[in-house]
């Protein structure tokens, strides 16, 4: 879930970087939904404005009726949550303020119906986006999509769902639900990670990449593209190998999901008896639900910053509880690992625009915001096995400082576990000291690999985490955790990489935290492993003797 640098791979492929919003890889022909923004242009003559306004009103009614049908279909399929989301679109389409606004744009300004519908919805959306409440602001996209839907009716360009990869500026949840049976994946020029469209895509298992930028709309309707929701890229002119990989991925995902659900109650244990706890990287309830269906034993990484990427100021206590509680309240006594805001770099909200710092460094500079986040996590996750994770740690002192802040907000409640992300070379080299102050360690192989090797992790076709320079740091971290008697997990993408995962297991990793849709697959892979083989393989890679390895775990 991050931005990557723009670039080209082999041949004529063109890789367009964006942000991963739903995992999986899909290939298909592009179905461009909203490039044509205008129908008729010019000013409507006064004499025709009343009829034009009536057409606009009728288009809104048609949009509302369509959304009602999509809602009913979702309810019939038992998708109550998605149905509730889409149903708000019906209310938006029938909103008297929107209707009056559109009518005035036609009657007073002479805009054609389709322009007025889009403009009216944009005005309402702009007002919503101004609201400080992040959840409400996210609804802005939903209103725009209602406007586009109605405009398509006014223009006579409403199109039947056809099979392919949806390409659009942004989409509403109803668009995603409506097209889901035919869509193979989704690529958006704009869009937010917590926008409802992304939530629905994740829960329906559709690969999705957002935030690609306006260049995305240069893609022609019918052009073959690949949406890689694992790496957060859209690929134009994909080479045959990539298309084949994407097709395999889709088939594999379907089959693996069915097996995973059937075997969700079986432990993730290697053939020779080592149990690995498989957790999910999940930030929304939809992801958690999918992960739980596939047998996840809790959340290993909730990237809290992704929920507030558009924030205009440090999110307040109530706002954070409001976003976290719907996710954490479903965990019962299972693990809920909430990472403190990892702002900075490619995850910088508008209010931190000028920062050059990253993760915990930023939080320690804002002690009030840190305390407020700690208190919100404690309030929202009171019923779970709560674990708080500190991002981008570079030294033990930072963890001690966060622990002091945590102690200050405990207020007599049970203290959650406090863990350190080991994702910088400094942290890995200082892992022994950090482990002494931590209740668990979590290795972020994404940043670690990138920082150690100076590679762009997202563009690389190999699994550079198995480079011995990275493996030595992972090994040192795992050893530090064992000496301190604490658990160590891996929550970077390597945890679900079929080549890297067995080596991580061989290094003695206790827990793997992976994308929700990958949980079942990873649990199955664990069952097919032989721990002794994994250790031999990791030893080989580290260039160590068998004797040293026997002492490791």
Kindly state the tokens that stand for 158. 């409403």
Residue 62: Cβ-neighbour burial (10 angstroms; 0-12, 13-18, 19+): middle
Considering the rule CB under 5 A, would residue 87 count as an interface residue with Mg ion?
no
With CB under 5 to 8 Å by kind, the binding choice for 458 among ligand PEP, Mg ion, none is none
We find the least distance from the C-beta atom of residue 492 to ligand PEP, in angstroms, to be: 3
With CB under 5 to 8 Å by kind, the binding choice for 492 among Mg ion, ligand PEP, none is ligand PEP
We find the least distance from the C-beta atom of residue 185 to Mg ion, in angstroms, to be: 25
Q: Return the exposure string of 69-86: e unless at least 16 CB atoms fall within 10 Å of the residue's CB, then b.
A: ebbeebeeeebeebbebb
Q: Evaluate whether 14 touches 238 at the Cβ level (below 8 Å).
A: no
We find the least distance from the C-beta atom of residue 411 to Mg ion, in angstroms, to be: 30
Select 56 or 306, whichever has its Cβ closest to ligand PEP: 306
Distances (CA, A) of 400 to 105, 303, 343, 418: 59, 21, 20, 10
Backbone angles phi, psi at 191, to 5 degrees: 100, 155
Select 347 or 535, whichever has its Cβ closest to ligand PEP: 347
Select 147 or 444, whichever has its Cβ closest to Mg ion: 444
With CB under 5 to 8 Å by kind, the binding choice for 18 among Mg ion, ligand PEP, none is none
The sheet that has 233-236: what strands, in order across it? 14-17, 233-236, 224-228, 25-32, 164-168, 183-188, 208-210, 19-22
Q: Fill in the per-residue mask, 405 to 434: x = in contact with Mg ion (CB under 5 A), - = not in contact.
A: ------------------x-----------
414: DSSP letter: P
Q: Residues in contact with Mg ion, total (CB under 5 A)?
A: 3
**What pairs with residue 32 in β-bridges?**
167
Considering the rule CB under 5 A, would residue 447 count as an interface residue with Mg ion?
yes
With CB under 5 to 8 Å by kind, the binding choice for 230 among ligand PEP, Mg ion, none is none
List residues near ligand PEP by CB under 6 A. 301, 303, 342, 423, 444-447, 491-492
Q: Evaluate whether 487 touches 432 at the Cβ level (below 8 Å).
A: no
Select 23 or 492, whichever has its Cβ closest to ligand PEP: 492
Of the candidates 197, 188, 193, 252, the residue with the CA atom closest to the CA atom of residue 217 = 188
Active-site residue set: 196, 491
With CB under 5 to 8 Å by kind, the binding choice for 185 among Mg ion, ligand PEP, none is none
Among 444, 502, 506, 520, binds Mg ion (CB under 5 A): 444
Considering the rule CB under 5 A, would residue 305 count as an interface residue with Mg ion?
no
Select 172 or 315, whichever has its Cβ closest to ligand PEP: 315
We find the least distance from the C-beta atom of residue 230 to ligand PEP, in angstroms, to be: 12
Q: Is the dihedral of CA 209, 88, 313, 300 positive or negative?
A: negative
**According to the 3-state scheme, what is the secondary structure of 90-125?**
HHHHCCHHHHHHHHHHHHCCCCCHHHHHHHHHHHHH
Select 20 or 124, whichever has its Cβ closest to ligand PEP: 20
With CB under 5 to 8 Å by kind, the binding choice for 491 among Mg ion, ligand PEP, none is ligand PEP
Question: Footprint of Mg ion on this chain (CB under 5 A)?
Answer: 423, 444, 447
């Amino acid at each position: 879930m991050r931005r990557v640098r723009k670039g080209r791979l082999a041949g004529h492929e063109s890789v367009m970087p964006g942000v991963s919003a739903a995992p999986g890889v899909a290939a298909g022909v592009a179905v461009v939904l909203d490039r044509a923004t205008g129908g008729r242009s010019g000013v409507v003559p006064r004499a025709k404005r009343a009829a034009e306004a009536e057409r606009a009103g009728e288009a809104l009614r048609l949009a509302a009726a369509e959304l009602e049908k999509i809602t009913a279909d979702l309810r019939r399929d038992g998708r109550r949550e998605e149905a509730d989301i889409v149903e708000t679109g019906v209310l938006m389409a029938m909103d008297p303020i929107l209707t009056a606004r559109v009518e005035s744009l036609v009657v007073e300004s002479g805009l054609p119906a389709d322009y007025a519908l889009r403009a009216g919805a944009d005005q309402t959306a702009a007002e919503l986006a101004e609201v400080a409440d992040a959840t409400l602001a996210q609804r802005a996209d939903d209103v725009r999509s209602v406007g586009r839907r109605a405009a398509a009716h006014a223009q006579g360009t409403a199109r039947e769902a056809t099979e392919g990869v949806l390409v659009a500026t942004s989409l509403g949840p109803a668009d995603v639900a409506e097209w889901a049976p035919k869509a193979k994946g989704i690529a958006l020029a704009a869009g937010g990670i917590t926008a409802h469209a992304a939530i629905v895509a994740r829960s329906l298992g559709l690969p999705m990449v957002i935030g690609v930028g306006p260049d995305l709309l240069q893609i022609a309707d019918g052009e073959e593209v690949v949406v890689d929701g694992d790496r957060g890229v859209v690929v134009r002119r994909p080479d045959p190998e990539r298309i084949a990989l994407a097709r395999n991925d889709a088939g594999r995902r379907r089959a693996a999901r069915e097996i995973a659900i059937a075997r969700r109650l079986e432990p993730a244990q290697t053939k020779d008896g080592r149990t690995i706890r498989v957790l999910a990287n999940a930030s929304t309830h939809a992801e958690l639900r999918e992960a739980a269906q596939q047998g996840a034993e809790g959340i290993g990484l909730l990237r809290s910053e992704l929920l507030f990427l558009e924030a205009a100021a440090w999110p307040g206590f109530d706002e954070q509880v409001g976003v976290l509680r719907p996710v954490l309240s479903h965990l019962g006594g299972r693990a809920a690992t909430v990472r403190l805001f990892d702002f900075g770099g490619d995850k910088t909200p508008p209010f931190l625009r000028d920062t050059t710092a990253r993760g915990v460094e930023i939080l320690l500079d804002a002690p009030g915001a840190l305390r407020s986040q700690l208190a919100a996590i404690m309030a929202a996750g009171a019923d779970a096995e709560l674990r708080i994770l500190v991002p981008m740690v570079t030294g033990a002192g930072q963890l001690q400082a966060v622990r002091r802040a945590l102690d200050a907000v405990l207020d007599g409640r049970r203290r959650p576990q406090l863990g350190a992300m080991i994702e910088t070379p400094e942290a890995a080299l200082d892992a022994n000291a950090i482990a002494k102050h931590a209740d668990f360690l979590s290795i972020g192989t994404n940043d670690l690999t990138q920082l150690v090797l100076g590679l762009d992790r997202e563009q690389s076709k190999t699994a550079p985490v198995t480079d011995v320079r990275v493996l030595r740091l992972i090994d040192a971290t795992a050893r530090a955790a064992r000496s301190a008697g604490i658990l160590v997990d891996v929550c970077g993408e390597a945890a679900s990489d079929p080549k890297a995962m067995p080596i991580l297991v061989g290094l003695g990793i206790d827990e793997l935290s992976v994308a929700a849709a990958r949980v079942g697959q990873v649990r199955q892979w664990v069952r097919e492993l032989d721990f002794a083989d994994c250790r031999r393989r990791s030893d080989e890679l580290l260039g160590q003797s068998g004797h040293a390895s026997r002492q490791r775990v």
